[in-house]
Amino acid sequence: MHRRAYFLLERDFQELKENNFKGITAFPVSEDLMEWGASIQGLQNTVWQGLFFQLTINFTSEYNLVPPVVKFLTIPFHPNVDQNTGRACIDFLDDPAKWNTSYTLSSILFTLQVMLSNPVLENPVNLEAAQMLIKDESLYKQIVLRFFNQPSQLRDDRPESLKDPDKFIRSTKAVSFNDYYKTWSGIATSKATEYYRSPLPEDPHFIGEYHKWKKLELKHPREWNLK
């Protein structure tokens, strides 16, 4: 089982290196490839633009039959991120029954990148962030930037390779903002509002098809809904 997981993670790593996706980076920090460090950059034309967040991704020998454990080291002020643990609340990470073996390291990172600027406000794990976003979006954006400048960090017991940002090779290939919507829908722990809902591709070759998708023209009115 471990050999299978090792092979699949080697494949995922090769995919990242070959495609050089913009704004997502990951690198193994253990010889058996079970522990990874990663970083994601906020999407352009959003409050998260230019902000980088470090994460840890821990796999088991059962990958890709079960999801990894993903946590933010740089914890954002976000409705779908636990402010204490850094856990990202995405249903396929929280519930193995919703995990799909077509998901890869790249698709996980894309989802997290999209999640930052596309919060799900129904049953948020960070209620304070959700309420502030609903009541005063301008203030929420200010708090987001303030938290980034003085971030909530988990205890720094990371491997040395994670503590050196130069260990991560920044990606340079651009992907349009609208294309990202193809990766995001109903995959957060809470159900998205109509404004943000779009289908998550089930195609196991979805990364290969990623750049072929046409841009979506979002015509839904903006609406926040906290239940």
Kind and range of the H or E element at 141?
helix 137-149
Which of these, 78, 47, 55, 75, lies nearest to 145 by C-alpha position? 47
CA pair distance 95, 213, nearest whole angstrom: 28
User: Which amino acid appears at position 149 of this protein?
Assistant: N
**Would you name the residues annotated as active-site residues?**
89
What are the Cα distances from residue 89, in Å, to 46, 138, 186?
20, 24, 12
Terminal C-alpha separation, the chain: 42
CA pair distance 88, 221, nearest whole angstrom: 27
What are the Cα distances from residue 40, in Å, to 21, 131, 171, 203?
11, 25, 10, 23
* Chain centroid to CA 117: 10
